[in-house]
Amino acid sequence: MAVTAKRKRSLAPHRSKVGATIRDVAKRAGVSVATVSRTLNGVGPVRAITSRHVLKIAQAMRYVPHAAARSLSSRRSHTLGVLLPELHGEFFSEVIRGIDVAARQRGYHILVSGSHSDTDEMIAVLAAMRGRVDGLLIMSPDLDLGPLSRNIPPAMPVVLLNSTTRSHRAIQIDNYSGAREMTRYILSLGHTWLAFIAGPERNIDAAERTRGFRDAMRGTAGRPMELEGEFTEESGYRTTSELLSRVPRPTAIFAANDAMAIGALHALREKKLRVPEDVSLAGFDDIPLARFLTPPLTTVRVDIAELGRRAVDMLLAQMEGSSASAHKDVIPTTLIVRDSCGVKSASQLDRRMK
């Protein structure tokens, strides 16, 4: 007898049960698994009375379909992968929020992986996502998307955030127009000598903002000046300090993001220069603290959450095969005028002359 016991293979060899399965429900409801599945998914013909009955039983048993099983069988995970670079607080949380609520609304989950500083890391994560996600939302830290692009399974729907490429759909913030508009605004205040603190060279947002600045300056009487920053507050402080030690100094400073503008503000204060009376200052991003600075910072608003939302829309459209859907999308920016920029005054002229 011991032998037979040993011989008889356990029906569930590996592990213990977790919850009710579809077969349990079927048995209890006196129908087949097919009927249960059809009822729960609302596909195929099921008599109303049968459907009600099955639903009731399922409810009573607290049955919840096992996601892994479902996705193995149906080839869909109802999950979107989100790959993000290392990015600063507010930006990060807003993108995620936008994506999160949009995805949940459509019945999708999001598998997040953030803080990637290099492409190889992203490629590794990308591989680990096989069979786990139905589509991908990717924001790359790098300008060069080649390597990453090559490692995306060809059939995988993808939307790139703030990156540009021929091969995938993409959605971007209109950095170019924003920077151009801000530059024109500053020019319109009478400033002619304008310093621009650019972002890191390899960053695509930075590149676009620089381009916007240059285009706005082109053909005007303005004297442009470009400094290289890192998108950090420290670099804003450093470059501005350097800048101010030269005489004569510009009457306005346009930093390519708010963090650098904050650094610049500190450098200005340290030199006892008033904003905007002595020097006008502008930023980019409209991070929440921008309006709480003294003086409140004139900047360019970017609706980050909207970026996330629209990216999800775009991805789902692609997944549903609407090839008609757009391949490119652009999120507009808006100029936010506060108090940190003023008209160029006579006193500024005087000081420069002396």
Partner DNA sequence: CCTCGCGGTGTAACCGTTTACGGAATGGCG
Partner DNA sequence: CGCCATTCCGTAAACGGTTACACCGCGAGG
3 vs 346, beta carbon nearer DNA: 3
Residue among 4, 13, 219, 353 that touches DNA (CB under 7 A): 13
Binding-site partner at residue 11 among a second copy, DNA, none, CB < 5 to 8 Å by type: DNA
CB of 17 to DNA, least distance (A): 6
C-alpha to C-alpha distance for 104 and 77, rounded to whole angstroms:
13
Q: What tokens were used for 24?
A: 């349990």
Stretch that binds DNA, among 13-21, 233-241, 249-257, 296-304 (CB under 7 A): 13-21
Return d(Cα 41, Cα 196) in angstroms, integer: 57
Select from 23, 30, 105, 127 the one that contacts a second copy (CB under 8 A).
127
Q: Which of 2, 18, 247, 324 binds DNA (CB under 7 A)?
A: 18
Query: How far apart, in whole angstroms, are the C-alpha atoms of residue 302 and residue 88?
Result: 14
Distance CA 287, CA 89 (A): 10
> Which does residue 132 touch among a second copy, DNA, none (CB within 5 to 8 A, set by kind)?
a second copy
**Which residue in the set 2, 4, 6, 247 belongs to the binding site for DNA (CB under 7 A)?**
6
**Is residue 126 a contact point for DNA (CB under 7 A)?**
no
Q: How far apart are CA 257 and CA 204, in angstroms?
A: 13
Q: Which of 30, 146, 248, 288 binds DNA (CB under 7 A)?
A: 30
Is residue 66 within the footprint of DNA (CB under 7 A)?
Answer: yes
Tokens of 263: 């650094």
Q: Determine the Cα–Cα distance for residues 339 and 258; give it in Å rounded to an integer.
A: 14
338, 299 contact by CB (below 8 A): yes
User: Which of 46-54, 215-223, 239-247, 262-270 is the region at the interface with DNA (rule: CB under 7 A)?
Assistant: 46-54
Binds a second copy by CB under 8 A, chosen from 262, 279, 281, 315: 262
In the complex, least distance from residue 37 CB atom to DNA, rounded to whole angstroms: 3
| Residue 286 binds a second copy (CB under 8 A) | no
Return d(Cα 159, Cα 274) in angstroms, integer. 44
Position 62 contacts DNA (CB under 7 A): no
Closest among 328, 264, 283, 306 to 179, alpha carbons compared? 283
Q: Which of 61, 65, 90, 326 binds DNA (CB under 7 A)?
A: 65
The owner of tokens 């603190």 is 197
Cβ neighbours, 10 Å, residue 115: 10
**From the list a second copy, DNA, none, which binds 202 (C-beta under 5 to 8 Å, kind-based)?**
none
Nearest-5° Cα angle at 334, 93 to 190: 130
| Residue among 270, 274, 300 at smallest CA distance from 285 | 300
Q: Are strands 280-282 and 223-228 parallel, antiparallel or unpaired?
A: unpaired
Query: How many whole angstroms separate alpha carbon 332 and alpha carbon 300?
Result: 10
Residue with the two structure tokens 């859907």: 325
Q: Binding to a second copy by residue 155, rule CB under 8 A?
A: yes
Chosen residue from 10, 272, 321, 353 binding DNA by CB under 7 A: 10
Among DNA, a second copy, none, residue 109 binds (CB under 5-8 Å by kind): a second copy
| Residue 69 CB, nearest approach to DNA (Å) | 3
Three-class secondary structure of residue 226 per DSSP: strand
Asked if 38 interacts with DNA (CB under 7 A), we say yes
Using the Cα atoms of residue 94, residue 98, residue 99 and residue 104 in order, give the sign of their dihedral: positive
Applying CB under 8 A, what is the total number of residues that bind a second copy? 52
332 lies in the site for a second copy, by CB under 8 A:
no
Farthest-apart Cα atoms in the chain, separation: 109
Stretch near DNA under the rule CB under 7 A, chosen from 34-42, 136-144, 175-183, 212-220: 34-42
Confirm or reject binding of residue 40 to DNA (CB under 7 A): yes
Give the interface with a second copy as residue ranges (CB under 8 A). Answer: 14-15, 18-19, 64-75, 77, 79, 89-90, 92-94, 96-97, 100-101, 104, 109-115, 125, 127-132, 153, 155, 262, 265-266, 288-289, 292-294
